[in-house]
C-alpha cells in the first residue's frame, strides 16, 4: 500500500514489527514505560488498590495523570477496573494476568536498581 499504512492483526505465532510506527505493540510499550505507567504497574504488584490508594502510593502524580494512565492500561488489558455502585462510587484496580507478566520484569528492574543504590543516593 503506497498511500498509507493499514493496521492489521498479527496471526497466531507471528510477531509485530515493533520498529514500525504503526505497530500496536508500540503503543502498549509507550503506555507501560510512560512516566507513570511503570509506577502504576509496580504499585499494583502485590495488592488491588482503589483510586485514592494508588494516588497516595505514587507521590507526585496528579489525579488527571493517574486517570489517564489507568485508562490506557485498562484499554491495553494490563489492569482491570471494578466499580462498586456506592455513593460516591468506589473504583478498584488490579493487574490482569497479562499485567502481572509485564509488571514482573519491571519490578525486578526496580528491585535491582534499588539494591545497587547506596544510602546516600537513595531517595
pLDDT digits (tens, 9 = 90+) for 46-79: 999 999 999 999 999 999 999 999 999 999 999 9
Tell me the average pLDDT of the chain. 84
pLDDT band at 2 (very low <50, low <70, confident <90, very high): very low
Check whether 123 has a pLDDT greater than 70: no
Q: How is the chain split among helix, strand and coil, in percent rounded to 5?
A: 45, 10, 45
Strand, helix or coil for residue 80: strand
Check whether 85 has a pLDDT greater than 70: yes
Identify any residues that bridge with 79 across adjacent strands, giving them in sequence order: 95
pTM over 0.85: no
Gap between the Cα atoms of 40 and 45, Å rounded: 9
Gap between the Cα atoms of 122 and 106, Å rounded: 18
Amino acid at each position: 500500500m503506497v498511500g498509507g499504512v493499514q493496521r492489521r492483526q498479527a496471526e497466531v505465532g507471528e510477531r509485530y514489527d515493533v520498529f514500525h510506527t504503526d505497530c500496536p505493540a508500540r503503543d502498549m510499550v509507550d503506555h507501560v514505560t510512560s512516566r507513570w505507567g511503570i509506577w502504576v504497574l509496580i504499585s499494583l504488584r502485590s495488592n488491588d488498590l482503589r483510586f485514592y490508594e494508588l494516588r497516595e502510593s505514587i507521590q507526585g502524580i496528579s489525579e488527571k495523570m493517574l486517570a489517564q494512565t489507568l485508562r490506557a492500561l485498562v484499554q491495553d488489558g494490563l489492569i482491570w477496573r471494578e466499580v462498586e455502585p456506592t455513593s460516591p462510587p468506589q473504583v478498584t484496580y488490579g493487574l490482569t494476568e497479562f499485567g502481572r507478566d509485564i509488571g514482573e520484569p519491571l519490578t525486578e528492574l526496580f528491585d535491582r536498581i534499588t539494591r545497587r543504590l547506596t544510602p546516600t543516593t537513595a531517595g
